[in-house]
Amino acid sequence: MGDPPLTTRPYLSQGKLPVKVIASTLRKGNVVDMDGKLYVVLTAQNIHPGKGTPVTQLDMRRISDGVKVSERYRTTEQVERAFVEDREHTFLYQDGEGFHFMNPETYDQVVVPEDIIGDQKPYLQEGMAVMLSTHNGVPIAIELPARVTLEITETEPVVKGQTASSSYKPAILSNGVRTLVPPHIQAGTRVVIMTEDGSYVERAKD
C-alpha cells in the first residue's frame, strides 16, 4: 500500500501528539522529537552489516540552535516523528531576504532561510513544486522533487576505444554542480539528476 500522499496524512493536519514511526522509514526533511527538542533529518541511511542488527544512521540538525547530531537506531526501533505541517509550495525567487515560496492554494508567501535550503540550493528552479514543512508557522525543512532535469555544460570528450560500460567521467551541470556521467554523454545533453546527491540517473527524454 505505501504511505498516503504527504498532503493527506491525517495526523499532520490535526495537530496531535508526535507519531511513532519505525526508524528505517525516516527520510531527509522529516522532523523527529527527541526529549522534547525538534530535529530535522539531513541524511538517513539504512546500514545492513554482514553480521549483527541492521541500523539506521540519522544525521540531524536541532531546529532551535542549528547544532548537528548523529544518532543510530535499530531499523525496527520506533522514533517520534514531530507534528509538522507539510504543504506543497512553489518556488518563486531568491533575494537578500531568503528564498520565497508561495502556497498555490492560498497564494500566501513564505520566506525560507538559506540554512534550511542547505545543499539543495543549486537544484531549486523557478516554478518548482516542493514540500515545505512548518512548525507553528515557521519553516523548518524542505523536500525537493527526487529528480530534476539539467543540462551538461562541460565534460571531457570521448576517448577513442572507450565503451559506454567503462567508468564514468566528470561533468559540470548547468547549475554549477559537478557530477559523473557515462562516457557517451556530451556537453549540451539534458540529463536527469538525483537532487539528494547530484548523481546521474539517465539521459532526459525531452
pTM for the model? 0.66
- The pLDDT of residue 1 is 47
- The pLDDT of residue 140 is 84
- The pLDDT of residue 4 is 46
- The pLDDT of residue 162 is 54
- The pLDDT of residue 121 is 92
pLDDT digits (tens, 9 = 90+) for 72-111: 999 889 999 887 888 999 999 999 999 999 999 999 999 9
The CA distance from 112 to 118, in Å, is 11
- The pLDDT of residue 164 is 54
Find all residues with CB under 8 Å of 27, minimum gap 6, and list them. Answer: 41, 44, 143
Q: In what order do the strands lie in the sheet with 19-22?
A: 19-22, 78-81, 31-34, 37-47, 55-62, 68-74
Pairing of β 109-112 and β 98-102: antiparallel
The CA distance from 99 to 120, in Å, is 12
Q: Characterize 87-110 residue by residue with b for buried, 16 or more Cβ atoms within 10 angstroms of its Cβ, and e for exposed.
A: bbbbbeebeeebbbbeeeeeeeeb
The residues of the chain scoring below 50 in pLDDT are 1, 3-15
- Dihedral sign of CA atoms 61, 62, 66, 71 in order: negative
